[in-house]
Amino acid sequence: MNSLISISNANKITNPNGDIFKLLSTKDTGFNGFGEAYISLIDYGAVKAWKRHNKMTMNLLVPFGNVAFVFMDLKRNFETLIIGDSNFKRLTVPPGIWFGFKGISNQQNVVINIANFVHDDFEVDRAKVNEFDYDWDKL
């Protein structure tokens, strides 16, 4: 599977009063306009799946905790990427890809999505967690 997801470095700057985490700027690779930003918490061991955005490009970061994202291509091949405390990266996810995610740290797992499109149900497809043949328990 050729990855459809681009992975960019994200930057943490140490500060004695509290660190700075750069999330996204218009100068970054993968920036594709701004529509909306939101946080999605994902409890330890919980899964949110499946969803497909048909218009939205997502830029996903996990500043706290660790989260496994699973993406499915048109041939139903899966790609799993883990980002978070231990691997602070930004994932750029173009429209048209089924995805889900699981909280894998026993703490607060925080996903930030900076999207180029305001949430609108008309552009979202949803499927049940067992709709596709992916074993979430192995994560």
How far is Cα 92 from Cα 8, in angstroms, rounded to an integer?
8
How buried is residue 111: exposed, middle or buried, by Cβ count under 10 Å (0-12/13-18/19+)? buried
Q: Which of 120, 61, 126 is nearest to 91 (CA)?
A: 61
**Residue written as tokens 């750069």?**
22
Shortest distance (Å) from residue 114 CB to its own copies? 6
Instruction: Closer to its own copies by CB, 2 or 25: give it.
Output: 25
Please answer whether residues 72 and 126 qualify as being in contact, where contact means their C-beta atoms are separated by less than 8 angstroms. no
Binding stretches for its own copies (CB under 8 A)? 15, 17-27, 34-43, 46-48, 63-64, 103, 108-110, 112, 114, 118-119
Shortest distance (Å) from residue 110 CB to its own copies? 8
Shortest distance (Å) from residue 77 CB to its own copies? 25
Shortest distance (Å) from residue 74 CB to its own copies? 27
Instruction: Closer to its own copies by CB, 9 or 77: give it.
Output: 9
* Side chain identity at residue 19, one-letter code: D
Lookup: tokens for 111: 């996903």
